[in-house]
Amino acid sequence: MSAPKRLFIKTYGCQMNVYDSERMADVLSPLGYVAADTPDGADLVVLNTCHIREKATEKVYSELGKLKEMRDERLAEGGARMTIAVAGCVAQAEGEEIMRRQPAVDLVVGPQAYHQLPELIARSHRARGERLSADFAPEDKFDALAPAGRKANGVTAFLTVQEGCDKFCTFCVVPYTRGPEWSRDPATIEAEARDLAAQGVREVTLLGQNVNAYAGGLAALVRRLAAIPGLDRIRYTTSHPRDMDEDLIAAHAEVPELMPYLHLPVQSGSDKILKAMNRSHTADSYLKLIEKIRAARPDIAISGDFIVGFPGERDSDFEATLALVREVNHAAAFSFKYSRRPGTPASAMPGQVAEEVKDERLARLNALLDEQARAFNAAQVGRTLPVLFERPGRHPGQLIGRSPYLQAVHATAPDRLIGQIVPVKIENAARMSLGGTLGGGVLAEELQPA
């Protein structure tokens, strides 16, 4: 995303196309494309076409033939590959026909989709195996991340199962920097999980930028890992609503090892903003999804991510976000002020929101989310929760662990309970943690000094 790249746009036809060509240059400039006057040496050539007469269309095909020659010559000389795109009305009218007739064309984009150019270009580069920041294949990368015989550090562990993202939310750099969605082989994951369990790990959190896009289904992987003796708790993060399939929802009802906590970012409650974000869900479809998940697992703790001040967000859009938050009732959440990331479509969108407005919205959203987190924690007071103790607490004689809902719980308990899942009667709650005492008949002997 750093070195300047040369962009040549050839415009045919009307004033509308002239205007559109400028817009295309705008959305491509954050990707590092700088306008060039000729196709010579260009990294990307866009033909912004006109369909008004057959002759105009034929001119496009003859130009494409010349570009192909130019590209082949340059490749033969060891130069960089030129990407060839067709935009405008011919693209709209003939679509894939263009790529059939002239296979040198890398991508076709209609006038309604110019904002998707960065995404289309990234996809086309990937299709040829060109990745931005990968100097080794994902497989090697995972091997480097998770060498065989990895040493467990404590009773909980993270386990990477998936990498990358194909969702192209318009605010996000991940699809450009991390590349396409890629899943680790389940047998390798299982072997690593067994090894961790043998070292005393009781809880694994399966990691991935889009973990629920895991190839072969995340639910199947969860069920497979749940069968490993000693592995009593499974979590996963982070998920996209689009990949929350029926099987995964069913797993929340059926697999006791799968913990009742779900990080399922919604980002906004305004359909207009969600569309501009390229999120592929609406506020309503998200709420319906949450309803289904809660039908499967009524006590599930829902967490999420929010962005305030996305370009074009008005007061009414922000109010829609607050309304959605009230409806969902979150156990926890993360909220961010929109930040312009070079190379992403949103960074070139009009209607960037003033910093003071973002600050004010963030404060209001956080106040509401805080209130919900406190209420969720307070609702545990009086309940007895199974807590996996992880490590000594801040005060002598105290241990810290986690509830099924990922709340930190501290209690007075002997060190030998580290790595055990024990019932704790919750007695007090704060925003970030719970406090309780060991309880339950089975543990009576643990209450005696060791």
Binding site for ligand SF4 (CB under 6 A): 165, 167-169, 172, 174-175, 209-210, 240
Show contacts with ligand 5AD in window 138-177 (CB under 6 A).
Answer: 171-172
Any contact of residue 307 with ligand 5AD (CB under 6 A)?
A: yes
Residue (195 or 305) nearer to ligand 5AD, CB = 305
Q: Which does 158 bind (CB under 5 to 8 A by kind): ligand 5AD, ligand SF4, none?
A: none
Q: Is 58 exposed, middle or buried (0-12, 13-18, 19+ CB in 10 A)?
A: exposed
Q: Which does 307 bind (CB under 5 to 8 A by kind): ligand 5AD, ligand SF4, none?
A: ligand 5AD
One-letter amino acid for residue 404 of the chain: P
Q: Which does 341 bind (CB under 5 to 8 A by kind): ligand 5AD, ligand SF4, none?
A: ligand 5AD
Neighbours of 19 (CB within 10 A): 11
Contact 170, 343 (CB under 8 A): no
Q: How many residues does the chain have?
A: 450
Which residues have a Cβ under 8 Å from the Cβ of 13 and sit 6 or more positions away? 48, 49, 50, 52, 56, 88, 89
Any contact of residue 405 with ligand 5AD (CB under 6 A)?
A: no
Residue (344 or 407) nearer to ligand SF4, CB = 344
Residue (91 or 206) nearer to ligand 5AD, CB = 206
Which of residues 285, 322, 336, 433 is near ligand 5AD by CB under 6 A? Answer: 336
Residue (109 or 353) nearer to ligand 5AD, CB = 353
Instruction: Report in angstroms how near the CB of residue 133 gets to ligand SF4 at its nearest.
Output: 15
Instruction: Report in angstroms how near the CB of residue 341 gets to ligand SF4 at its nearest.
Output: 10
Number of residues that bind ligand 5AD (CB under 6 A): 10
Q: Which does 47 bind (CB under 5 to 8 A by kind): ligand SF4, ligand 5AD, none?
A: none
Residue (61 or 336) nearer to ligand 5AD, CB = 336
Neighbours of 441 (CB within 10 A): 6
Show contacts with ligand 5AD in window 54-83 (CB under 6 A).
Answer: none
CA contacts within 13 A on the Cβ side of 312? 16
| CA–CA gap between residue 291 and residue 295 (Å, rounded) | 6
205 beta partners: 158, 235
Nearest residue (beta carbon) to ligand 5AD: 305
Residue (21 or 267) nearer to ligand SF4, CB = 267
Instruction: Report in angstroms how near the CB of residue 212 gets to ligand 5AD at its nearest.
Output: 14
Which range of residues in 63-71, 124-132, 331-339, 350-358 is near ligand 5AD by CB under 6 A? 331-339
Which of residues 329, 339, 428, 437 is near ligand 5AD by CB under 6 A? Answer: 339
Q: What are phi and psi of 444, to 5 degrees?
A: -50, -40
Which of residues 48, 83, 205, 267 is near ligand 5AD by CB under 6 A? Answer: 267
Which range of residues in 127-135, 243-251, 334-342, 416-424 is near ligand 5AD by CB under 6 A? 334-342
Neighbours of 366 (CB within 10 A): 16
Any contact of residue 325 with ligand 5AD (CB under 6 A)?
A: no
One-letter amino acid for residue 410 of the chain: H
Q: Which does 114 bind (CB under 5 to 8 A by kind): ligand SF4, ligand 5AD, none?
A: none
Which of residues 114, 214, 261, 338 is near ligand 5AD by CB under 6 A? Answer: 338
Instruction: Report in angstroms how near the CB of residue 168 gets to ligand SF4 at its nearest.
Output: 6
Q: Footprint of ligand 5AD on this chain (CB under 6 A)? A: 171-172, 265, 267, 305, 307, 336, 338-339, 341
